[in-house]
Structure 1
Amino acid sequence: MTWKYTQALSLRTNWDEQNGFFVKRSDDYAKDLVQDMGSKNDLKASYNAMIPDHSIKVNNKLIDNSKEEYPLLVFRDVTYFPLTWRFAVTEFGLETRWDYKRGLGFGKVDKIKLPAAGKIATTGKLKGTITLQSDKSVGTSPDKDAQVFLIPVDFNKDSTTEREADSHVFSGTAPEGSGLFHTWANENGYYEVELPAGH
């Protein structure tokens, strides 16, 4: 739970010696993730993580680490949470996806940055249902959990880096100001995207 990750996941954290560490969900708009790439780790070496000796609260609930199936750990003074459904989805409100080619992705869904203060924030919604037909002899069925990408017809692919493009496809995080949007269809194939004015 580094500062930059909590900002990208709309989480609020705090630490002090008396109360320990706490993290809670926030309605703040998620910021773009900027990774700290300065460390060098030997992937063939062994490193030691520790069970934290301080109290930890998640959404104002005290965690009893002695009863956790996958305990929280501390490594290099950073608290690590297991990405179980309970923590990732129930507590932190994240969306998780697995793709056998790209691996694991997680983050906030449909977090669109609003215009700066003083500007008119006019938005609209694009809605629809995605269906598929696997066999011509049967009717269509909802394409549940389908990804929906909205890309302007005049989009300049050179305006984003390869890493930004991968992030958009993998985690649904569109580069700020790019005009790209992403969402997931629900179990009924229904999707809804909020769009700023002019899109």
Structure 2
Amino acid sequence: MSRIGKLPVAIPAGVKVSLSGNEMTVTGPKGTLKQSLHERMVIAVEAEQIIVNRPSNEKTDLALHGLTRSLINNMVVGVSQGFKKALEINGVGYRAEISGNVLTMSLGYSHPVVYELPEGISVEVEKQTKLSVVGIDKQLVGSTSAKIRSFRAPEPYKGKGIKYADERILRKAGKTGK
């Protein structure tokens, strides 16, 4: 039995859930999310919770049970609280600034790196070296954070680059002279 799949998803106050076929729509104070769920999963929307059941104990149904419940939970949490991913920029002269939905970063290249943010994502810049990627879709927040990090991933010698705030970089010793 899936430990995650058998847990009910609590619906907080102010969140509306509607299910039509295998398409689930969750509306809350922060926005609306839609997700197409697998048709084999049995989803029941009750008064204050959502329950996900599986039709059998086949391997695919076991895998989809926990996945479906996690997707639904992420939608409910996203529209009620939102998701946030913190990034840090380390390096001399490395900085970022936001104007509208365009993020401009100086990362040691001969040109500034310009990144247009996807719809539904906002970035907060604090002190030019700390970024916060904020949104209601957990998948989009994570992929946008990974894309921003990929412009200058942290290197192992001095730790220069863009890293997640909770990431620990394994440092290497440099060359030693005789």
Identify the TM-score tier after normalising by the shorter chain: under 0.3
Q: TM-score, normalised by structure 1?
A: 0.23
Structure in which a larger fraction of residues adopt helix: 2
Q: TM-score, normalised by structure 2?
A: 0.24
